Structure formats: C-alpha cells, structure tokens
C-alpha cells in the first residue's frame, strides 16, 4: 500500500477506474499505468508571516499522465490537501481532459494551507515561493496550472509573475485562469459554473424537461456555484436554495440571485441575506428539487447521508462530491447523476481556450468563448449519454468508459500500453 492509497478520494477514483476498465475491457497494461501518476513533486513552502515567524507549508504537484498532451490541472490551497488527495485529483484530470477531447494530460497540485487565515502579503509570498519550487515542472508546453479550490485569478497572476521572474522570460500560457488584463480569457471565471448549467439543461432534457421552470439547489456559492446560480436564474430556472460555509438559504419560489450576489459582494458570506429562509446544510441536500448541484468539496454525499437525497438529477459541480458507494445506491433509487469529469469540465475547457489564445496571441470575444464552451459540453454529454443508453451503464461509468477508450488508444499508439 502506497501513501496515495490512504486517501478516500484516491480510493474512490481507483474504484471508478477499475469499474469502467472492466466495462470496456481496458488493456491491462494501460490500467496498471493509469493507477499510478507519472511524476510527483513534494515541496516545502516557507513563508515569513506578518509576525516575523517562519511557517513552513507542504506543497505538491502531481503529473498523472501525458498521453494526450501537456499536463494540465488546477492548484488547490486548502487545509485538507495531501499527497493522496492531489494524486486522486490529478488522475481525475487525465480522465476529464480525455473525456472532453482536449489535447491535454492530467495533473493537480496544492498547498496544505487555509488561505483565509493568511494576510494578502503572506498569501502572495506563499504563492510565489510555491511557484519557484515547482518551476522545474511547469511551463506552457510541459504542465499548465489553473485555479481550483482556494485559488483564483489573482493567484494565477502572481504565479505568472513569479515564473517569469524565475525563468527570465514571459510566456502567458504557463498558467490559465489569469485575469483578462494579463493574458486571461474572457469567460474563464464563470466557465465551470456555466458548464454545470449547460449540463443540467441536457440532463433535464433526458426527462423531457426544460431548464426554464426547473427547481435547483446549489451547494457552494464560490467560483462554481455562484456562476451556476447566476446563469440558471437568468435562463429561468428556480434556484430555491444555495449555501456556503456560513449556512444555507432557501426561498420556495426561487431566490432572487442578483440580490444574493449583491449580498455576497458586500458581506462575503451568505449569512444575513435578506428575503430568504435559513435552512441547514442537510435540508439543502435533502431538498425535493429537479436538480441538486454540489459545487463545493468532495465527499458531501456519502454512504451515511445519501438516503436523505430526493433530487431527480445530481450534477457534480465539485470534484468527487458523491462517493462511489453513495452514487451506486442513488442510481439504484433512480437518481440521474452526471459525474464530475463531465459536469464540471467547463473550467478546463475554457482553460484550454485561454491556452490556445495565449500561444497564438489571440483574443476571442465572450460570445465566441461561451458558444464554443456550450458546444463542447453538450456534445460531451451526448456521447456519454449515448454510451450509457447503449450499454445500460450509469453516467459515471459511461463517462469513464468514453474517456478511457480515448486514453487507451493514445497510450497504445504511443507505446505506453504495449
């Protein structure tokens, strides 16, 4: 047993890999290789805190597989970050990028830190030191980080600057999810959330339902959940409940999302939001809605609480929010679950657009980005749903199967799974 295997998230990813591998009769050599990341870097990140004390944080970059192209995946700043979790998330990135047909491999990184407990200058220092430590791995043709939980466009701007200073030249394609002013793409900040809505639209259409008028509960009101709520509301869905760390709020007729966003902009947390009823996190997860979108962290719906879920459709805006066991049980109960590698793929799709624009010194307008994003999300859904119908498998297994088939082909052609 290796250290990765101690992580529940890693174990979950291995379980779906095995399961989908069986369905497509995946080449044994390819399976063996996909079970372990190609390369792992563990670094310490010393930061001189504002009180002059040095604190050392642990950082990671895991490069899982590059059969389809350069390594690509986000960076997470969160207290739960550990090697196993990062390795599991890197593996998921390989599957996600393959499923979405992007010419990119899979990677992930992170620092075990609570970014909300650091001052801005401590956070900047942490980001710059971490960037220098992983500079030997990253680069526009090697490995391209992006935001994830606890990181954002500002983090990417600091990374770009630290990397440029370190290497002595400027190459904006070294990270994606940057602010537009320093080589970012229009529509990147809202991409994951919008992708979630495009997928919800498709999932509802399987049940001959429109997004307009459909009820939605969204767990997490950060980069993903907030943008999902804004677009869903704009397109006429009834977003009845949303939540963040401070609690959950509810309105039976649908929350006034622009008002909720304004409250967040002024107060940073949902607590105290007007014209809404306060409910518990459990009540949100157990809401009788058409679509439940968990858009925060992994392991939210588990063996212990899946029985409270009443939603007809779950769209996994976060990575790994429904555990394998819970997913199986809910699917048996008739719940239609769109898995993370499909549902939250909008972020990396627009990261790919950003990278393409950076490499070509191009600038696309927002309509171009949004319509290309929608096309890829809808098409990917159709392919996965088609597989699921044809083979009588869940959407999770089908998404993995479609992804693995592409990967297997590339690995075979490159001689990685002879």
Chain contacts with ligand GLU (rule: CB under 6 A): 72-74, 96, 146, 148, 176-177, 319, 344, 347-348, 351
Contact partners, residue 51, CB within 8 Å, separation at least 6? none
- Closest approach, Cβ 25 to ligand GLU, in A, equals 28
- Listed in sequence order, the DSSP H helices in 235-335 are 257-267, 281-285, 324-332
The residue (of 176 and 190) whose beta carbon lies closer to ligand GLU is 176
Active-site residue identified among 38, 72, 108, 186: 108
Known catalytic membership, residue 72: no
d(CA 316, CA 320): 7
DSSP 293: E
Q: Which of 10/250 has CB closer to ligand GLU? A: 10
Tokens of 151: 């990181």
Spacing of C-alpha 122 from chain mean position: 26
Contacts of 231 (CB under 8 A, 6+ apart): 190, 193, 194, 197
What is the rounded CA–CA span in Å between residue 13 and residue 17?
6
> Which residue, 348 or 373, has its beta carbon nearer to ligand GLU?
348
SS (H, E, C) 199-260: HHHHHHHHCCCCCCCCEEEEECCCHHHHHHHHHHHHCCCEEEEEEECCEEEECCCCCCHHHH
- Give CA–CA dist 296/222, Å, rounded: 8
Q: Measured from the CB of residue 377, what is the shortest distance to ligand GLU in angstroms?
A: 13
Residue 140's closest CA among 70, 187, 89, 83?
70
Smaller CB separation from ligand GLU, 96 or 385: 96
Q: Give 322-329 contacts, CB < 8 A, sequence gap 24+.
A: 322/294, 323/8, 323/12, 323/299, 324/12, 324/15, 324/16, 324/19, 326/301, 326/302, 327/394, 327/396, 328/394, 329/303
Q: Which of 26, 86 has the CB closer to ligand GLU?
A: 86
CB of 145 to ligand GLU, least distance (A): 7
Phi-psi region of 96 (alpha: psi -120 to 50; beta: other; left: phi over 0): alpha
Smallest gap from Cβ 357 to ligand GLU, in A, equals 14
Q: Which lies closer to ligand GLU via its Cβ, residue 21 or residue 109?
A: 109
- 21 or 106: CB nearest ligand GLU: 106
Residue 236: CB atoms within 10 Å: 12
Q: How far is the CB of 147 from ligand GLU (least distance, A)?
A: 6
Pick between residue 75 and residue 123 the one whose CB is nearest to ligand GLU.
75
Closest CB 176 distance from ligand GLU, rounded Å: 5
- Comparing C-alpha atoms, which of 354, 215, 362, 359 is closest to residue 290? 215
Q: Characterize the bridge pairing of strands 71-78 and 106-112.
A: parallel
Beta bridge partners of 77: 111
Q: Shortest approach of ligand GLU to residue 320 CB, angstroms?
A: 10
* Closest chain position to ligand GLU (CB): 74
Q: Name the minimum Å distance from CB 96 to ligand GLU.
A: 6
> CA 66, 7, 110, 416: dihedral to nearest 10 degrees?
-10
Residues serving a catalytic function are: 108
């Amino acid at each position: 047993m290796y250290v990765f295997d101690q992580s529940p998230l890693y174990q979950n990813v291995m379980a779906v890999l095995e399961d989908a591998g069986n369905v497509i009769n995946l080449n044994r050599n390819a399976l063996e290789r996909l079970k372990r990341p190609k390369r792992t870097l563990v670094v310490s990140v010393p930061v001189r805190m504002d009180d002059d004390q040095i604190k050392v944080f642990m950082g990671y970059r895991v490069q899982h597989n590059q059969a389809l192209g350069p390594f690509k995946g986000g960076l997470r700043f969160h207290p739960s970050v550990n090697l196993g979790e990062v390795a599991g998330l890197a593996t998921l990135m390989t599957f996600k990028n393959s499923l979405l047909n992007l010419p990119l491999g899979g990677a992930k990184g992170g620092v075990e830190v609570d970014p909300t407990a650091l001052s801005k200058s401590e956070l900047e220092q942490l980001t710059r030191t971490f960037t220098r430590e992983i500079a030997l791995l990253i680069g526009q043709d090697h490995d391209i980080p992006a935001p994830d939980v606890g990181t954002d466009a500002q983090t990417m701007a600091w990374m770009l600057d630290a990397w440029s200073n370190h290497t002595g030249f400027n190459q904006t394609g070294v990270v994606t999810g940057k602010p537009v002013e320093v080589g970012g793409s229009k529509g990147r900040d809202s991409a994951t959330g919008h992708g979630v809505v495009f997928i919800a639209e498709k999932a509802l259409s399987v049940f001959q339902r429109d997004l307009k008028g459909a009820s939605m509960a969204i767990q997490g009101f950060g980069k993903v959940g907030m943008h999902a709520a804004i677009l869903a509301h704009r397109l006429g869905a009834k977003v009845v409940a949303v939540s963040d760390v401070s609690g959950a709020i509810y309105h039976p007729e649908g929350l006034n999302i622009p008002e909720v966003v304004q409250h967040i902009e002024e107060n940073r947390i949902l607590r105290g939001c007007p014209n809404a009823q306060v409910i518990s996190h459990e009540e949100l997860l157990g809401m009788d809605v058409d679509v439940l979108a968990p858009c925060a962290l992994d392991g939210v719906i588990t063996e212990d609480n899946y029985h409270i879920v009443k939603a007809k459709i779950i769209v996994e805006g976060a990575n790994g929010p429904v555990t394998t066991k819970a997913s199986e049980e809910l699917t048996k109960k008739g719940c239609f679950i769109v898995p993370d590698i499909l549902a939250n793929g909008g972020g990396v799709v627009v990261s790919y657009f950003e990278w393409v624009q950076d490499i070509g010194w191009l600038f696309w307008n927002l309509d171009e980005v949004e319509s290309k994003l929608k096309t890829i999300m809808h098409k990917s859904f159709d392919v996965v749903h088609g597989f699921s119908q044809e083979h009588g498998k869940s959407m999770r297994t089908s998404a993995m199967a479609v992804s693995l088939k592409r990967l297997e082909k590339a690995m075979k052609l490159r001689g990685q799974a002879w």
